[in-house]
Chain A
Amino acid sequence: MVTYLVRRLFQMVFVLLVVTFVSYTLFYVAPGGPLAAIGQLQGAKGGKIREEDLVRVMQQYELDLYHVPRFLRWIIGEPRGPITIFGQEILGALEIGCLKEGQAQRVYPDGRVETTNCVKPVYLKDLVGRTTTLGILRFDFGRSQQISRGMPVMDLLGTRIVPTLVLMGISELLALLIAVPIGIYSAVKQYSRFDYFITTVTFVGSAMPTLFLGVMAILVFGLLFKDIGLPFLPAQGATSNVEIAVPLFGMITPESIGDKLWHLAMPVGVLTFVNLAGWSRFIRSSMLEVLRQDYIRTARSKGLEETTVILKHALRNALIPFVTLVVTLIPAVFGGAIITESVFSWPGMGRLYIEALNLSDYPVAMATLMISTFLTLFAFLLSDLLYPIVDPRIRLN
Chain B
Amino acid sequence: MSDKKLWRIASVLAAGSMILAACGNATPVIQTVVVKETSAAIKETSIVVQTKEVSVEKTVQVQVTAQPKADWSTPHPILSDLKVRQALATCVNRDDLISSVYPTLSAEDKAKLRMNTFIVKGTKFYDSNAIDYTYDITAAGKLLDDAGWTIPKNGGFRENANGDRLTLKFLTTNASFRQTWSAVMIKQLEKCGVQLAASYVAGAAYLFSPQTGLRRRDFELSAYAWVGQPDPGGETLYACNQVPLPTNGWAGQNYMGWCNQAASTAIRLANNTLDENERKKQYAIVQEEFAKDMVSLPLFQRAEAAAYNKNLKGIKFDATQYYPASVTDWELPGKDTVVLGLSQEPSSLFGLVEDSYATSLVNQFLFSQDITGYNYDYQGPGMVDQKLPKIDNGGAKLVEVAVKDGDKLVNSTGDIGTFKGGKLLDGDGKELTAKVKNLKGEEIDLKEGVMMPQLAVTFKFVPRTWSDGQAVSKADYQLGYKLTCDHTSGAVSYDTCDRTSKVDFATDTSYTITYVPGYTPPLYYATPLFGAYPAHRVIESEGPYKGKTLADVEPKDFGTLKEILETPLGDGPYILTKWDKQQRMVLTANPKYWGPQPKVKNLIIQFFAESQGAIAAMLQGTVDIIGGETLPGPDKSIHDAAAAGKLNEVVIPSATWEHLDINLFVK
Interface centre among A48, A54, A239 (most CB of B within 10 A): A48
Binary contact track B614-647/A, C-beta < 8 Å → 1, others 0: 1011011111000000000000000000000000
What residue of chain A has the Cβ atom nearest to residue B498's Cβ?
Answer: A50
Chain A residues whose C-beta falls within 8 Å of the C-beta of B347 in the assembled complex: 144, 146-149, 359
Q: Are A14 and B10 in contact (CB under 8 A)?
A: yes
Q: Mark A366-396, 1 if CB is under 8 A from B, else 0.
A: 0000000000000000000000000000000
Q: How many angstroms from the CA of A194 to the CA of B370 in the assembled complex?
A: 70
In the complex, chain B residues whose CB is within 8 Å of the CB of A236: 606, 608, 613-614, 616-617, 622
- In angstroms, Cα B395 to Cα A40, docked, is 35
* Nearest CB of A to B397, in Å: 28
- Stretch among B37-45, B82-90, B142-150, B279-287 lining the A interface: B37-45
19 A-B pairs besides A42-B492, A109-B30 with CB distance below 8 A are A10-B7, A31-B209, A41-B493, A58-B40, A58-B41, A93-B28, A104-B32, A106-B33, A107-B30, A107-B57, A109-B29, A148-B347, A150-B562, A235-B613, A235-B619, A235-B620, A236-B608, A239-B583, A240-B622
Interface residues of A in 25-39 (CB under 8 A from B): 31-32, 35-36, 38-39
CA distance A241 to B309 in the complex (A): 15
Contact of B608 among A35, A40, A345 (CB under 8 A): A345
Main secondary structure of the interface of A (DSSP, over half): mixed
Give the residues in chain B near A63, CB-CB below 8 Å: 41
Considering the complex, which residues of chain A in the window 60-111 have a beta carbon less than 8 Å from any beta carbon of chain B?
A: 63-64, 68-69, 72, 79, 83, 90-96, 98-109, 111
The chain B residue with its CB closest to the CB of A240 is B622
- CB contacts (< 8 Å) of B251 on chain A: these are 46-48
Asked if B393 is at the interface (CB within 8 A of a chain A CB), the reply is no
Q: What are the residues of chain B within 8 A of A147 when measuring CB–CB?
A: 345, 347
A167-175, A218-226, A268-276: which lies at the interface = A218-226
B522 at interface by CB-CB < 8 Å: no
Q: How far is it, in angstroms, between the C-alpha of A64 and the C-alpha of B40 when the chains are bound?
A: 9
B50 close to A (CB within 8 Å): no
A residues near B (Cβ < 8 Å) are: 7, 10-11, 14, 17, 31-32, 35-36, 38-52, 54, 56-58, 63-64, 68-69, 72, 79, 83, 90-96, 98-109, 111, 113, 115-116, 119-121, 144, 146-151, 156, 159-160, 215, 218, 222-223, 226, 232, 234-242, 244, 341-345, 347, 351-352, 355, 359
Whether the Cβ atoms of A149 and B249 lie closer than 8 Å is: no
- Tell me which of B39, B57, B560 has the highest count of chain A C-beta atoms within 10 A of its own C-beta: B39
A98, A111, A347: the one contacting B581 at CB < 8 Å is A347
Task: Give A5 to B237 CA distance when docked, in angstroms.
Answer: 66
Q: A37 vs B207: C-alpha distance in the bound complex, in angstroms?
A: 12
Residue of A nearest to B29 (CB): A109
Contact status B37-A54, CB under 8 Å: no
Residues of chain A with a CB closer than 8 A to B210's CB: 39, 43, 49
Tell me the complex Cα distance, A40–B207, Å. 9
**A101-B40 contact in complex given A36-B204, A46-B236, A347-B582, C-beta closer than 8 Å:** yes
Tell me the nearest residue of chain B to A111, going by C-beta: B59
Known contacts A149-B350, A222-B616, A223-B616; is-contact A91 B22 (Cβ 8 Å)? yes
Residue with the greatest number of chain B CB neighbours at <10 A, chosen from A51, A79, A90: A51
- A106 near B22 with CB under 8 A, answer no
The 7 closest A-B pairs by CB, nearest first: A46-B236, A347-B582, A235-B616, A149-B348, A102-B37, A103-B36, A149-B347
Q: How far is the CA of A36 from the CA of B613 in the complex (A)?
A: 29
Interface residues of B (CB under 8 A from A): 3, 7, 10, 14, 17-18, 20-24, 26-43, 49, 56-57, 59-62, 65, 204-205, 207-210, 215, 236-237, 242, 249, 251-253, 337, 339, 345, 347-348, 350, 353-355, 487-488, 490, 492-495, 559-560, 562, 565, 580-584, 604, 606-610, 612-614, 616-617, 619-623
A46, A56, A106, A222 pick with most chain B CB within 10 angstroms: A46
Distance between Cα atoms of A107 and B54 in the complex (Å): 12
Contact yes or no, B249 A48, CB < 8 A: yes
Residues in B neighbouring A215, C-beta threshold 8 A: 612
Taking CB atoms, residues of chain A closer than 8 Å to B205 are: 31
Residue in contact with B41 in the complex, picked from A35, A45, A90, A113, CB distance below 8 Å = A35
A33 nearest CB neighbor, chain B only: B41
Are B17 and A345 in contact, with the CB atoms below 8 A?
no
When distances are taken between beta carbons in the complex, the residues of chain B under 8 Å from A40 are 208
- Which B residues are in CB contact (< 8 Å) with A121? 32
A35 to chain B: closest residue by CB: B41
Known: A46-B236, A102-B38, A119-B37. A241 touches B584 (CB 8 A): yes
Given that A146-B347, A160-B582, A341-B609 are contacting pairs, would A242 and B339 also be in contact in the complex, using a CB cutoff of 8 Å? yes
CB neighbours (8 Å) of A237 from chain B are 583-584, 606, 617
Taking CB atoms, residues of chain A closer than 8 Å to B10 are 14
- Most chain A C-beta atoms within 10 Å of own C-beta, residue among B337, B613, B614: B613
